[in-house]
């Protein structure tokens, strides 16, 4: 029955969204089905309203932030959340969960294939916010520990294999140097590029950009997140906890496509996202789900020159 219904939705999607390439239409039809699937829980969610919902997720970090965490928080607010299960070092993200279990040692990017338990299960041209609530990470993790003389400017970078290909969305050393040179007087810059020893992998190999020693030698005034982790190890539970604490005190972000961009979008202010490739472009997600995470101003830059154009105007 499920397969038959999905086929009908595929036909509907192909007709309604004929202008979108065929290879992307199945994302839309899968999301349609996942929303319809929520009707199964109408009585539990809106009538009975007892703690019954167990939410388990092992997929990509970006999709967990965009789709799963707000879904879990909605159930918490609704009084129906019983338990959450996710990857290692995610307890601080699920601070609201009555019972959070950290099980998974590795993320699986195909996890959402045929998983229709979340009303927004994957990328889509539109999203359903009926069981989706902003998670107040900024309010919860704002602190006096990471306060500096100048306002923070966080550069959230990555350098890893993308879609089984070479790195595509990242801030190179030339761009990094331009940012530091131009904005160090105005901001306390914090550089963050998590390594495999600090975050859970999602099958994308993290490569060496060669910037850490270079930063320490040439720009010692730039704070590196790994150094903050060592310095404050006794006060933070894990690397994710540190990111939440530092990000919560920031209003200015430069991030790159993926989980880094999604996490920065949770803390209000302005987030310039460098993304030159990805399905998010097809579905215009930087204008929909990303700003919805906290009300942040999301500025999508397709090139490094656009990054500097946005910085000139807003920073």
CATH fold of 140-314: Rossmann fold (3.40.50)
Q: Consecutive 10-residue runs of the chain (315 residues): their mean pLDDT?
A: 68 75 87 92 98 95 96 98 97 98 86 81 93 98 97 94 72 96 98 87 76 96 97 96 98 96 98 93 96 98 97 97
Distance, in Å, from the CA atom of 164 to the CA atom of 205, rounded to the nearest integer, reads 9
What string of DSSP letters covers 16-83?
A: HTTTS-HHHHHHHHHHHHHHHHGGGGHIIIIII--S-EEEE--S-HHHIIIIIHHHHHHHHHHT-EEE
Which single residue is written with the structure tokens 């490569």? Answer: 207
Neighbours of 213 (CB within 10 A): 8
pLDDT (0 to 100) of residue 11 = 66
Q: CA dihedral in degrees (301, 307, 309, 314; nearest 10)?
A: 100
pLDDT (0 to 100) of residue 35 = 93
pLDDT (0 to 100) of residue 112 = 63
Every domain range in the chain assigned CATH 3.40.50.2000: 140-314
Which single residue is written with the structure tokens 């919902």? Answer: 53
Enter the tokens of residue 64. Answer: 């967990």
Enter the tokens of residue 45. Answer: 């969610």
pLDDT (0 to 100) of residue 286 = 97
Phi, psi of 135 (to 5 degrees): -95, 120
Report the run of H or E that residue 10 belongs to, with start and end.
Answer: helix 2-16
Distance, in Å, from the CA atom of 315 to the CA atom of 251, rounded to the nearest integer, reads 10
Yes or no: say if 54 and 99 are a contact pair by the CB < 8 Å rule: no
């Amino acid at each position: 029955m499920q397969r038959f219904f999905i086929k009908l939705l595929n036909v509907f999607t192909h007709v309604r969204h004929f202008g979108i390439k065929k290879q992307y239409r199945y994302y839309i039809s899968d999301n349609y089905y996942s929303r319809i699937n929520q009707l199964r829980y109408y009585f539990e969610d809106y009538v009975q309203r007892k703690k019954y919902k167990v939410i388990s997720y092992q997929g990509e970090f970006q999709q967990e932030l965009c789709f799963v965490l707000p879904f879990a928080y909605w159930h918490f607010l609704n009084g129906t959340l019983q338990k959450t299960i996710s990857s290692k070092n995610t307890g601080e993200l699920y601070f609201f969960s009555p019972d959070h279990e950290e099980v998974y040692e590795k993320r699986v990017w195909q996890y959402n294939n045929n998983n229709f338990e979340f009303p927004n299960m994957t990328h889509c041209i539109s999203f359903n916010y009926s069981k989706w609530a902003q998670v107040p990470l900024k309010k919860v993790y704002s602190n006096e520990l990471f306060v500096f003389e100048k306002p923070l400017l966080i550069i959230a970078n990555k350098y890893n294999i993308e879609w089984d290909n070479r790195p595509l969305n990242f801030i190179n050393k030339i761009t990094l140097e331009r940012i530091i040179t131009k904005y160090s007087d105005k901001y306390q810059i914090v550089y963050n590029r998590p390594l495999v020893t600090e975050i859970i992998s999602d099958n994308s190999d993290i490569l060496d950009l060669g910037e850490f020693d270079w930063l320490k030698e040439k720009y010692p005034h730039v704070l590196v997140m790994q150094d903050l982790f060592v310095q404050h190890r006794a006060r933070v539970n894990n690397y994710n906890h540190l990111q939440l604490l530092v990000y919560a005190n920031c209003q200015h972000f430069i991030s790159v496509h993926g989980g880094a961009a999604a996490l920065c979008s949770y803390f209000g202010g302005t987030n310039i996202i460098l993304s030159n490739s990805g399905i998010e472009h097809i579905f215009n997600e930087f204008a929909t789900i990303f700003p919805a995470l906290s009300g942040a101003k999301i500025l999508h830059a397709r090139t490094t020159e656009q990054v500097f154009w946005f910085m000139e105007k807003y920073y």
